[in-house]
Amino acid sequence: MNPLKQLEQCGQSPWLDFVRRSLIRKGELKTLIDRDGLKGVTSNPSIFEKAIGGSDEYLDDLNRFQRQGQHTPGELYEHLAINDIQAGADVLRTVYDATEGRDGYISLEVSPDLANDTKQTVDEARRLWRIVGRDNLMVKVPGTEAGAPAIRTLIGEGLNINVTLLFGIEAYEKVVEAYIAGLEELAKSGGDLSRSASVASFFVSRIDSLLDKKIDAAVAKGADKSKLDPLRNKIAIANAKLAYERYEGLFSGARWEALAAKGARTQRLLWASTSTKNPSLPDTLYVETLIGRDTVNTMPPATMDAFRDHGKIVPDAVQSNLDEAHEQIATLEKNGVSLDEITTELVIDGVKQFSDAFEKLMGAVSKRREDAKPAA
């Protein structure tokens, strides 16, 4: 049986971390749903930059839109992206209906430049929600200090939110608190909690990539190489397992049960950045080790293809060897490498990467605007 389809039997939903117009128009997205049990789609500025800047499939649309008047690169991007998001949401609607709103979502990100501004993030999320006009949209909001209160407000208004750029347990706990508090506000206003959905996107492979550099630096300063070397390519998975352990604790107890009784559903952990950056690692490492109930794994196309081809199903893998995961992180800290410092650095760098990608996206749209201009 197709390993991707088997994930559903383990309680995990496979999502695709990729979007472009041809994927939707040529029926490839529907094929992924039918063949692989695909349950959702995520996007980001980098994905749109590659789609718009790396193909000619948007030129006709750009040309038509420009005939309606002068538009900034930002307006052109939004026109193209929202068309794709709406079309993708319509294809995924069958999944949304079949799962009663648990899956079937497509994500669109607020501008990364707003990551540290709560009010502007809220205003932008509301605007995107209104313009896209699809029940199965998830607006992506970063899990920064400014993002947490925005998440609370938006969940309280009934928007579906994909919280992005989560690396550390402490930040994750704040996001869950924002989600639960938002649901409580939604309940007070008479909202339907059963139609509210959110995922917490916990980034994985980037931790191991940065950790290698931190271990090298620590060893150069005299840290015990024999203790630190065995932790390479282990901490990202250990950290994710600890996040899942917290998930189980946070979504239990009287406060949560009161919301669940009104139809509320947990904010699932979504494993993001699950492609392996180190070519010496198995290409399905961050899928096989993080299979778990009530989770999502969003995979880029190459990782999804690899898992379909030779992925191994390990039910509840994310709950295995928890003691070892705790021990690995403790050993890391004892030997001079701080996981908190790593995750803090990754959040800052992640915001910058997405901002840089957004700027590059604007450049790609500007170039495409010139390419699309009709000859005089």
The b/e string for 265-302 (b: 16+ C-beta within 10 A; e otherwise) is bbbbbbbbbbbbeeeeeebbbbbbbbbbebbbbbbbee
Instruction: For residue 111, tell me if it sits in a domain.
Output: yes
pLDDT digits (tens, 9 = 90+) for 172-187: 999 999 999 999 999 9
How many Cβ atoms from other residues are within 10 Å of residue 263's Cβ? 13
Catalytic position from the list 140, 174, 214, 241: 140
Average pLDDT over residues 127-156: 98
CATH of residue 281's domain is 3.20.20.70
Count of alpha carbons within 13 Å of 248, Cβ hemisphere only?
10
CB atoms under 10 Å from CB of 374, counted, come to 7
Structure tokens at 104: 């079937």
Residue count (the chain): 376
Residue for token pair 């931190």: 214
**Per-residue model confidence (pLDDT) at position 294:** 98
- Confidence band, pLDDT 50/70/90 cuts, at residue 376: very low
Q: Give the count of domains, the chain.
A: 1
- Is residue 336 predicted with pLDDT exceeding 50? yes
Q: Name the token pair of 167.
A: 């690396």
- Residue 151 CA to residue 367 CA, distance in Å, equals 35
For residue 215, give every residue at least 6 positions away whose Cβ sits within 8 Å of its Cβ, in sequence order, or none.
Answer: 223, 228, 229, 231, 232, 337
Where in the sequence is the domain holding 125, given as residue range(s)? 3-205+236-318+345-372
**Where does residue 189 fall: left (phi above 0), alpha (psi -120 to 50 degrees), or beta otherwise?**
alpha
Retrieve residue 327's tokens.
């021990």
Average pLDDT of the residues in 42-64: 91
Look up 352 and say whether it is catalytic.
Answer: no
3-state class (DSSP) for residue 19: coil
Q: Identify the CA nearest to 85 among candidates 38, 47, 134.
A: 134
220 or 367, greater pLDDT: 220
| pLDDT value for 374 | 55
Does some domain include residue 27? yes
DSSP 205-257: HHHHHHHHHHHHHHHHTT--HHHHGGGTTTHHHHHHHHHHHHHHHHT-SHHHH
* Residue 210 maps to a domain: no
Tell me if 226 is assigned to some domain: no
- Flag whether 332 is in a domain: no
Do residues 16 and 41 lie in contact, with contact meaning Cβ atoms separated by under 8 Å? yes
Check if the beta carbon of residue 139 is closer than 8 Å to that of residue 162: yes
Measured CA to CA, the distance from residue 86 to residue 21 in angstroms comes to 11
Helix axes 73-98, 45-53, angle to 10 degrees: 110
288 within a domain of the structure (yes/no):
yes
Residue 42 lies in a domain: yes
Question: What average pLDDT does this structure show over 121-136?
Answer: 98
Q: Does residue 121 belong to any structural domain of this protein?
A: yes
